[in-house]
């Protein structure tokens, strides 16, 4: 693992270095445009350096590749979990995947409101579950918060969601199934 981590650091930092050599001078030049070189003062130099840093840090790719190199180092020194960041490189390399992300990002407000509506409806269902079907949860509903978390957890399961969870654990359902066997 150590050898592969070192190889990843070398490649990642070489990508970062190549990108910075290619891009940073253009962004810095943009910050220094319009500077009167004849009347250059210490204040002008400091302001232009701050503008240069702002232009560098406001560029998505500069931030991305800086984090790219940093996560390679942190992945080797702290935990390999940080190597997972490098998988996001697929999103940067393929424009089609960027379009997929934009299809979620552009209508983010309606999507967020839909998600909030889902949480509200789930909370109402959890309150009803807590007050009326407390026994049916079999220990998964010790508080309204736990009922809410259980309802969220079981909502999109393959086995029928929260309804499948409740009927599978229900005494009424077990007795109904026994009655069907004798029928």
pLDDT tops 90 at residue 119: yes
pLDDT tops 90 at residue 117: yes
What average pLDDT does this structure show over 115-124? 94
Compute φ and ψ for 36, nearest 5 degrees: -85, 105
What average pLDDT does this structure show over 111-118? 96
Sign for the CA dihedral angle at 27, 86, 7, 78 comes to: positive
Crossing angle of helices 42-58/60-77, nearest 10°?
70
CA pair distance 136, 118, nearest whole angstrom: 23
- State the pLDDT confidence band at 27, using cuts at 50, 70 and 90: confident
pLDDT tops 70 at residue 167: no
CA-closest candidate to residue 92, choices 84, 101, 83, 80: 101
CA pair distance 164, 167, nearest whole angstrom: 5
CA pair distance 67, 131, nearest whole angstrom: 48
Cβ-contact 23, 66 below 8 angstroms: no
What residue spans define the domains of the chain? 2-102, 108-182
Whole-number average pLDDT of the chain: 84
Q: Determine the pLDDT at residue 156.
A: 80
Q: Tens of pLDDT along 127-141?
A: 988 888 777 777 888
Question: What pTM was estimated for this model as a whole?
Answer: 0.56
Q: Count other Cβ atoms within 10 Å, centred on residue 129.
A: 22
Q: Tens of pLDDT along 67-85?
A: 888 998 998 899 889 988 8
Residues of the chain above pLDDT 70, percent? 90
What average pLDDT does this structure show over 162-168? 70
CA pair distance 78, 74, nearest whole angstrom: 5
- State the pLDDT confidence band at 59, using cuts at 50, 70 and 90: confident
pLDDT tops 60 at residue 176: no
């Amino acid at each position: 693992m150590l050898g592969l981590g070192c190889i990843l650091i070398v490649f990642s930092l070489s990508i970062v270095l190549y990108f910075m050599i290619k891009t940073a001078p253009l962004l810095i030049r943009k910050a220094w445009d319009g500077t009167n070189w004849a009347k250059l003062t210490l204040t002008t130099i400091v302001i232009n350096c701050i503008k240069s840093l702002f232009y560098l840090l406001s560029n998505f790719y500069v931030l991305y590749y800086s984090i790219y190199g940093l996560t390679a180092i942190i992945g080797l020194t702290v935990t390999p979990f940080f190597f997972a960041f490098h998988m996001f490189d697929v999103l940067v390399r393929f424009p089609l995947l960027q379009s997929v992300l934009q299809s979620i990002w552009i209508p983010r407000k309606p999507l967020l409101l839909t998600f909030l509506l889902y949480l509200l409806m789930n909370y109402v269902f959890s309150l009803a579950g807590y007050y009326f079907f407390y026994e049916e949860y079999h220990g998964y509903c010790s508080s309204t918060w736990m009922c809410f978390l259980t309802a969220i957890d079981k909502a999109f399961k393959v086995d029928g969601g929260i309804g499948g969870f409740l009927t599978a654990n229900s005494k009424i359902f077990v007795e109904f199934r026994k009655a069907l066997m004798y029928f």
